[in-house]
Amino acid sequence: MLCILLGVLALHLLVFILLIVSTASSQWSLEKEGHTDLWYNCHSDQNGYHCLQASTGDWIQAVQALMILAVVFCFVSLLAFAYQLFRLFKGGRFYFTSIFQILASVFVMCAAIIYTVMRPRSERDYGYSYVLAWVAFPLSLISGLIYLILRKKD
Amino acid sequence: MLRVLALASVVLLGIAPQASQAITVYTSWERHALVGSDIRLSCSFFSWRFVSEDVSFTWRYRPDGSRDSISIAHYAGGEAYTDNKGAFKDRVEFVGNPKRRDGSILIKNLDFSDNGTFTCDAKNPPDIVGRPSSVRLLVFETLPIQAGVITGAIIGVVLGLLVLIVVIYYLMRFLVARRVFSLNVSRNVEGPQLSILP
């Protein structure tokens, strides 16, 4: 039983760390000599390394908001798991934990989709933050579904 | 110890008279406006002395990308003078109250060519030593939404909904416990154990 508990917790923490790294680092897109989105637009030229605001429109703010919300919901789900671990009645399911985790995965999915669709064509490649966001989406969905089928027993 | 005190007092006495002769000018940092609208650029100053009869305000304009600035408004000796032959002809009006240390100007009917830096220089004789202060004017066709407003709005709405749902949930539980509704809910507190059962 301890193995399942530790495994589920480890998956949750992994999702949480992936979400934080994807949100905080500004490497959603790579362009020549630099990287941009979600927060800063940094490039290096002959004068050095410059960083500007990545203010490319309203959609980038929506992506920022959705990623932050995903991080918040994943954290709340972690707290709900800790709470329900000790306070749930016998045979109960971890509904709260599951709902928050699934909502977090939905938010990550929306953020990644909006970013993919609205990205300006001129940018070349996707950076590692973008990849981490897409990796975090199925992992968080699986984690949420595991909580749904998990039952508490004595 | 005595030497430190003597040194400190000499330094302070040396600084204080200069501080009382410096004038500090305040303007906004940056202003946004729509094409065709009017804007009031505010300028005020702080001076250790009372406002004198010879108080003067000078407004200069430097277009974006240019290195020269031209004067567009001047107030001195109780009279206000504004641009009467340049790009701001008949568009600038001195609306400040110099007796209250306010040297604001009003610019009417803005255009894209008004993008640039406006510098206000105030002098309150004998307080004349000071730096002029600049305000940057940005003229837009439509006002852009500032960075972070939409982000904050989305986060606020979703978290607000979350709090609302949680409050409603606990309210329902409270009402059930008070037998207002007839639902069957019973909860036990057990130790932590997990299993996966279909």
Grade residue A34 by pLDDT with cuts at 50, 70 and 90: confident
Q: Verify whether the Cβ–Cβ distance B190 to A89 is below 8 Å.
A: yes
Any CB–CB contact under 8 A between B161 and chain A? no
pTM over 0.80: no
Any CB–CB contact under 8 A between A135 and chain B? no
Q: How many domains does chain A have?
A: 1
Taking CA atoms, A74 is separated from A3, A40, A45, B37, B164, in Å, by: 22, 24, 39, 47, 19
When pLDDT is averaged across residues B163-192 and rounded to a whole number, the result is: 74
pLDDT for B53 beyond 70: yes
Give the one of B149, B159, B194 whose C-beta lies nearest to A5's C-beta.
B194
DSSP string computed for chain A: -HHHHHHHHHHHHHHHHHHHHHHHS--SEEETTEEE-SSEEEEEETTEEEEEE----HHHHHHHHHHHHHHHHHHHHHHHHHHHHHHPPTT-B-HHHHHHHHHHHHHHHHHHHHHHHHS-TT--EE-HHHHHHHHHHHHHHHHHHHHHHEEE--
Residues of B within 8 A of A88 (CB-CB) are 190
Q: Is B57 or A91 the better-scoring residue by pLDDT?
A: B57
Q: What is the pLDDT of residues B98-139, one digit of tens each?
A: 888 898 999 999 988 889 999 999 998 888 888 999 999 988
Question: Cα distance from B65 to chain A (closest Cα, Å)?
Answer: 19
Task: Collapse the DSSP code of B189 into the 3-class scheme (helix H, G, I; strand E, B; otherwise coil) and give the result.
Answer: coil
Question: Cα distance from B144 to chain A (closest Cα, Å)?
Answer: 9
When pLDDT is averaged across residues A10-15 and rounded to a whole number, the result is: 94
Paired strand residues for A93: A151
Any CB–CB contact under 8 A between A85 and chain B? yes
Q: What is the H or E stretch that residue B138 is in?
A: strand B133-140
Q: Is B2 or A112 the better-scoring residue by pLDDT?
A: A112
pLDDT at A56: 62
Indicate whether A34 belongs to any domain. no
When pLDDT is averaged across residues B55-62 and rounded to a whole number, the result is: 91
ipTM over 0.95: no
Give the one of A8, A65, A87 whose C-beta lies nearest to B150's C-beta.
A65
Any CB–CB contact under 8 A between B193 and chain A? yes
pLDDT at A151: 77
Indicate whether A48 belongs to any domain. no
Q: In what order do the strands lie in the sheet with B30-34?
A: B30-34, B133-140, B116-123, B56-63, B70-76, B79-82
pLDDT at B82: 87
Give the one of A62, A68, A153 whose C-beta lies nearest to B150's C-beta.
A62
Q: Verify whether the Cβ–Cβ distance B193 to A8 is below 8 Å.
A: no
Question: Cα distance from B191 to chain A (closest Cα, Å)?
Answer: 6
pLDDT at A74: 94
Percent of chain B with pLDDT over 70: 84
When pLDDT is averaged across residues A102-127 and rounded to a whole number, the result is: 88
Grade residue A139 by pLDDT with cuts at 50, 70 and 90: very high
Residue range of the domain that includes A141: 1-28+56-152
pLDDT at A47: 75
Strands B39-41 and B105-107: antiparallel
Q: Verify whether the Cβ–Cβ distance A89 to B196 is below 8 Å.
A: no
Answer whether the bond into residue B126 is a cis peptide, omega within 30°.
Answer: yes
Any CB–CB contact under 8 A between B145 and chain A? yes
Give the one of A64, A69, A89 whose C-beta lies nearest to B187's C-beta.
A89
When pLDDT is averaged across residues B182-196 and rounded to a whole number, the result is: 54
Provide CB contacts within 8 A for A153, sequence distance 6+.
A90, A91, B193, B194, B195, B197
Q: Of A81-90, A111-120, B165-174, where does mean pLDDT reach its minimum? A: A81-90
Question: Cα distance from B146 to chain A (closest Cα, Å)?
Answer: 9
Q: Is B12 or A10 the better-scoring residue by pLDDT?
A: A10
When pLDDT is averaged across residues B2-25 and rounded to a whole number, the result is: 70
pLDDT for B198 beyond 70: no
Q: Is domain B24-144 annotated with CATH 3.40.50.1820?
A: no
**C-alpha of B170 from chain center:** 43
Q: Is B193 or A50 the better-scoring residue by pLDDT?
A: A50
Question: Cα distance from B54 to chain A (closest Cα, Å)?
Answer: 44
When pLDDT is averaged across residues B147-160 and rounded to a whole number, the result is: 88
Question: pLDDT averaged over chain B?
Answer: 83
pLDDT at B167: 93
Indicate whether A49 belongs to any domain. no
CATH code of the domain covering residue A3: 1.20.140.150
Q: Of A3-12, A22-31, B6-15, where does mean pLDDT reach its minimum? A: B6-15
Any CB–CB contact under 8 A between B142 and chain A? no
Any CB–CB contact under 8 A between A62 and chain B? yes
Provide CB contacts within 8 A for A20, sequence distance 6+.
A71
